[in-house]
Amino acid sequence: MIPGIPALPYSAHSSERTGCTPDTEWFRTAVFYEVLLRAYADSNGDGFGDFPGLSSRLDYLAWLGVDAIWIPPFYPSPLRDGGYDIADYTAVDPRYGTLDDFDALVEAAHARGIRVVIDLVLNHTSDAHPWFQASRTDPDGPYGNFYVWADDDRGYDQTRIIFVDTEDSNWSFDEVRGQYYWHRFFSHQPDLNYDEPAVFEAVADLIRFWAERGVDGFRLDAIPYLIEREGTNCENLPGTHDIIARIRALLDAEYPGVITIAEANQMPEEVVEFFGTEERPECTMCFHFPIMPRIYLSLREGSPRSIRQVLAETPSIPAHGQWGTFLRNHDELTLEMVSDEERALMYGWYAPEPRMRANVGIRRRLASLLGDSRAEIELAHALLLSLPGSPCLYYGDEVLMGENIWLADRDAVRTPMQWDSSANMGFSAVSDASRLSLPLIEAEGYAQRNVADALADPASFLHTLRGMLAVRRQHPVLGTGDFELIDAGDERILAYLRRGKDSGTDADAAAGRPAGEVLVCVANLADEAVAGRLSVGEWDASAVRPLLSVGEGARAVSSSLGEDGALEIALPARGFQWFAVERALA
């Protein structure tokens, strides 16, 4: 029970919160929340967050308005890569609880209408995995060919290194087998060899294992790299797409409705390949990596130039697909998808201290990145929640948590959730704070922030965000609708239509189709007030209704009807608004 959060039976959104519907399109209107189990809530006082702890916080997530949680790896692991180094795919690391605790979490989440997405790390295992141990000791045995082995380290030399901070080659020598093995990430994470058919069969079995336990989706970790071929950069190869299509076919045949979300940190024209085609679908969702840094870039440029550009470069996607959007996650804020010039600018703006950087990116959290500017934080969320795709929040950002740049690597942004002002910020009852999975942050101002205080303050960002999520919930077109950039008469304003499929065009009306929903979203990226005018075309500008109240972040945006029927808008610095355009049907 969390003070300030009603226990079940749940009151807010009660009609929608009576359990998960069988709707297979749920992901289109869903708001996701990434929760690091290790850092969320410790139920047994051992210093590690765990499944019972997360289960005890589901009422909070339901209150906030979250539709799905994504839980990064919780499997047994040496934890040398935050758990993405998996030593056993079909068990729960004892520090997080048991399989029964996992089942209880799924059941409790579903009872609240919250779906559960877990991570599937297909590309590599930990070197502690029994498959690797067997492969290195028994090359002729059943696992001998499970990894990518070679006699020298010269192969695939056109392949980039991803973890540039720690690795200088994608090959490492194994003393036991006397050969080199291939790894796209840390040297303790050997890549699986998908040219060996038994590897896919083994992966198929572990997909079934978790799907049987009722998960609603899998985030497919690091999927561009599954197959290697000489003379290529070993990314997005046809064989890799074959494997993802086979996973989709398996799920569609055996567990229809279970979604896959691609982690492919690439430009839009490459990422769309991971949706596959109508005939041969691959992923249900793909994270849109390039748009994320451009939201931050735009705020400092005071112009949505780069957002417009990347949206223009984003191809349309097959009908089964949906983008996933995010502002932060458990990794560095990756700057791989911006130009060299933009990256240099962003490092200067957002990571002035070298310690704030990691690999090709920035290891800081949302609130501190944006200098704690409430207006910028709200504007970033207004974009996140209204641009095409389903948004994913990162735990702790809703209470404006900060980072600890004195911790190694990406641990800077993986510190314990701050629930209240009691010992260990309510995360854990462990008496010796040195046993916490990671130390709490100490940064001035940030260390005190917590859920309980934010709940008690009606003006907190937590309440603002909840209000925005509620408005989004009332307007499914923000998840399902078409997207069209429109002119707002001033370059600094990003304006777009979100339009339902049968949205009351003249053609619709002539065909007797009912008018669908149309929203106009406007955002002023500039740090000064801006005026603009919108021509809302064949819709009736006199029937324009603002949806967000000031309490929900929209800062006193005023609108009026111009003489020619256009909508005149005045946006304060960083102001935004979503308008419903109600077509006056004769």
Contact residues toward ligand GLC (CB under 6 A) are: 81-82, 84, 121, 185, 189, 221-222, 263, 330-331
Nearer to ligand GLC (CB atom), residue 359 or residue 418: 359
Nearer to ligand GLC (CB atom), residue 57 or residue 184: 184
Nearer to ligand GLC (CB atom), residue 77 or residue 524: 77
**C-alpha distance from residue 104 to each of 101, 311, 576 (Å):** 5, 41, 41
- As measured in angstroms, the least distance from the Cβ of 330 to ligand GLC is 6
Could you say which of 119, 263, 398, 552 is catalytic?
263
Amino acid (1-letter code) at residue 220: L
- As measured in angstroms, the least distance from the Cβ of 263 to ligand GLC is 6
Given a contact cutoff of 8 angstroms between Cβ atoms, the answer to whether 123 and 225 are in contact is yes
The bridge status of strand 361-362 relative to strand 149-150 is unpaired
- DSSP letter assigned to residue 333: E
Could you say which of 221, 332, 397, 411 is catalytic?
221
Residues 6+ apart with CB under 8 A from 258: 211, 215, 216, 217, 218, 251
- DSSP letter assigned to residue 575: -
Q: In the annotation, is 263 catalytic?
A: yes
Given a contact cutoff of 8 angstroms between Cβ atoms, the answer to whether 89 and 38 are in contact is no
- As measured in angstroms, the least distance from the Cβ of 221 to ligand GLC is 5
Residues 6+ apart with CB under 8 A from 446: 367, 368, 400, 401, 402
- As measured in angstroms, the least distance from the Cβ of 339 to ligand GLC is 22
C-alpha dihedral sign at 406, 411, 416, 418 = positive
Nearer to ligand GLC (CB atom), residue 119 or residue 301: 119
Residues 6+ apart with CB under 8 A from 246: 200, 204
H helices of 444-547, where? 451-456, 461-474, 477-480, 506-510
- As measured in angstroms, the least distance from the Cβ of 83 to ligand GLC is 9
Nearer to ligand GLC (CB atom), residue 77 or residue 577: 77
- As measured in angstroms, the least distance from the Cβ of 235 to ligand GLC is 13
Nearer to ligand GLC (CB atom), residue 331 or residue 398: 331
Given a contact cutoff of 8 angstroms between Cβ atoms, the answer to whether 268 and 314 are in contact is yes
Q: Point out the residue whose Cβ comes nearest to ligand GLC.
A: 84
Q: In the annotation, is 168 catalytic?
A: no
* Cis amide leading into 9 (omega within 30): yes
Active site residue ranges: 221, 263
